[in-house]
Amino acid sequence: MSKKNYQRVLLKFSGEFFQNDTVLTLITNQIVQLRQKRIKLAVVIGGGNIIRGRTAQKFTPTAADHAGMLATVINGIVLTDILQQSITVCHLAAFPVGNLVPAYTVDRAQQALKENKIVVLSGGTGNPFFSTDSAAALRAIELKMDIILKGTKVPGVFSADPKKYPDARFYPQLSYQKALTEGLEIMDRTAFALCQQHRIPIIVFDITQPDAILKIIGGKKIGSCIC
């Protein structure tokens, strides 16, 4: 990647990090600092700490995904409440949630970014059968983001699960096509395909490391770049 300083960033992280107060504080502190640096930031969150639609076998796939989308809204409310103690936040859901969360539109999100607000995006795409990774790719395209940062618990992209296969190869950089061809499961195929079509780079990194988000935006090479 030749570009060092990103001004429009979409951050994606899963709901599991809401179960760890230390990591969640680490993330939110960096988000506050990014706002102070006037970085245009949107955050897409998962809901796996509450219910993971794709693995909720007690329900039909559609019902499970609907529950999963609502779980991300709950996390969005929590994240917004934490951040609003320090900065101005605009929480938008893919569908209106009564008088709690207004519905996402591109214009609303763009206006909030223009006003230097952090935009929290919940509800996935608003449709079943699409992951929050796909939602992150879609929102990054709609909001003309420079890059997607996907925070995980691993240092980046490997040829196989490094916990199961210690000799798995680490990829500091790889193409979208390689990620698709090798079936790497860091993001789903729809998300990869959307980013490839619109040439939005993805950096996969360990979000539990101190100041990782700030370092990446500052130009430091951390994690794996898919481009």
* CA–CA distance, 40 with 11 (Å, rounded to integer): 11
Measured CA to CA, the distance from residue 198 to residue 195 in angstroms comes to 5
Tell me, what amino acid is at 32?
V
Predicted model pTM:
0.94
Element (H, E) at 120: strand 118-122
Identify the segments of the chain with pLDDT beneath 50: 1-2
In this prediction, residue 51 carries a pLDDT of 86
Tell me how crowded residue 102 is: count the other CB atoms within 10 A of its CB.
14
* 50-105 tens-digit pLDDT: 987 666 677 898 998 999 999 999 999 999 999 999 999 999 999 999 999 999 99
Query: Where do the domains of the chain lie, and which CATH numbers do they carry?
Result: 8-221 (3.40.1160.10)
pLDDT in the model for residue 1: 46
